[in-house]
């Protein structure tokens, strides 16, 4: 298949967007046909995080409304992912593949499809990532303030998200955009949500120890159990091989990008590896990192399969499709 023909097929046309939406509806069949849902279990409250505890106390997260909100957030993440490359062009062709990868992998590996802290926080994190890219492109400190406040809010769902300040500063420094104004703006953004959270817990709930306990418990190992079925292990291992091949191809085989898009995508790879390490540590709240890990993986795979038309990628794409169908029907 020639590159030009592939570019036409994967372009974000109306047909591809409609197909992606219908595919998401099929994979989230339990939302529309609850009686067909055979997946047992309940989502974790992420170590009694302050914000998710408030949400779960007023809304049954696995109720119909909980699943509707979850699906709406899921689709919103998808369309922001689609818009992401349209704005920043870190993939040098217009492509719908990151969207499709996230719909498939995100739907298959995160069940039941209830409203979870992971879904909410991955949406917030994507907005933070978006703001970070805007800062590198525009240079206005308001964008670093937005990054700080969004990461801080995310950390009230899962405290490990506060550590993303480190790869963000690495990204800004590599682009020669780090200065005192942006640093102070980001610090203000980080502090602000915790000031309001402390005031709420101290003056309203009169339980400041609950917030302090949430932070200190975030450094303990989680008791959350992930799916360790044979099919899931094989599927995730295959995705890991695809991710490794995509990253190696980017650094060793694909040297056609300009300096700026290459730095931007290198930052996404760093954030992906950072997320993988945090996820592997299995600290309290690690389950909230799964959607973010899948989201970043989808971007990496989407770029690789959008630019590489080799025989290996065609075979890998066929194997991915077959394995996804097997997971959907037999997991």
pLDDT in tens, 279-302: 988 877 788 899 999 999 999 999
The whole-number pLDDT of residue 226 equals: 62
pLDDT in tens, 91-122: 888 899 999 999 999 999 887 788 888 899 99
308 pLDDT more than 60:
yes
Least confident range from 74-83, 229-238, 248-257: namely: 248-257
Q: How many domains does the chain have?
A: 1
58 pLDDT more than 50:
yes
Query: pLDDT confidence of 192, banded at 50, 70, 90?
Result: very high
Least confident range from 33-47, 153-167, 205-219, 278-292: namely: 33-47
The boundaries of the domain holding residue 318 are 3-330
Cα–Cα distance measured from residue 313 to residue 306, given in angstroms and rounded to the nearest whole number: 10
Q: Which of 52, 70, 51 is nearest to 62 (CA)?
A: 70
The whole-number pLDDT of residue 148 equals: 95
The whole-number pLDDT of residue 190 equals: 94
The whole-number pLDDT of residue 121 equals: 93
Q: Which of 194, 159, 176 is nearest to 285 (CA)?
A: 159
306 pLDDT more than 70:
yes
pTM of the model: 0.89
Give the 3-state secondary structure of residue 221.
Answer: strand
HSE-up (13 A, CA, CB side) for residue 37: 21
Query: pLDDT confidence of 223, banded at 50, 70, 90?
Result: low
The whole-number pLDDT of residue 260 equals: 77
| 37, 114 Cβ separation under 8 angstroms | no
Q: How many residues does the chain have?
A: 331
């Amino acid at each position: 298949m020639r590159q030009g023909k592939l570019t036409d097929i994967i372009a974000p046309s109306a047909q591809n967007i409609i197909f992606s939406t219908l595919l998401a509806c099929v994979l989230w069949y339990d939302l529309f046909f609850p009686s067909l849902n055979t997946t047992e279990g309940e989502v974790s409250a992420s170590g009694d995080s302050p914000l998710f505890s408030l949400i779960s106390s007023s809304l049954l997260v696995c109720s119909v409304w909980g699943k509707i909100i979850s699906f709406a957030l899921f689709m919103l993440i998808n369309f922001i992912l689609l818009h992401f490359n349209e704005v920043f062009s870190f993939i040098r062709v217009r492509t719908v593949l990151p969207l499709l990868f996230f719909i498939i992998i995100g739907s298959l590996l995160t069940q039941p499809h209830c409203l979870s802290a992971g879904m909410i926080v991955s949406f917030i994190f994507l907005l933070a990532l978006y703001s970070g890219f805007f800062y590198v492109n525009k240079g206005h400190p308001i964008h670093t303030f937005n990054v700080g406040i969004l990461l801080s809010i995310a950390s009230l769902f899962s405290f490990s998200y506060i550590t993303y300040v480190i790869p963000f500063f690495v990204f800004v420094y590599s682009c020669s955009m780090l200065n005192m104004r942006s640093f102070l703006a980001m610090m203000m953004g980080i502090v602000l949500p915790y000031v309001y959270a402390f005031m709420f817990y101290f003056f309203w709930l009169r339980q400041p120890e609950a917030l302090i306990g949430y932070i200190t418990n975030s450094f303990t190992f989680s008791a959350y159990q992930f799916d360790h079925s044979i099919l899931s292990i094989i599927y995730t291992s295959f995705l890991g091989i695809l991710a490794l091949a995509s990253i190696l191809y980017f650094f060793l085989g694909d040297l056609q990008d300009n300096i700026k898009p290459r730095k931007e995508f290198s930052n996404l790879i760093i954030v992906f590896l950072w997320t993988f390490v945090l996820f592997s540590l299995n600290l309290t709240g690690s389950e909230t990192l799964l959607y973010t890990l899948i989201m970043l993986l989808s971007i990496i795979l989407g770029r690789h399969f959008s630019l590489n038309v080799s025989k290996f990628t065609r075979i890998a794409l066929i194997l991915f499709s077959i394995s996804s169908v097997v997971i959907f029907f037999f997991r």
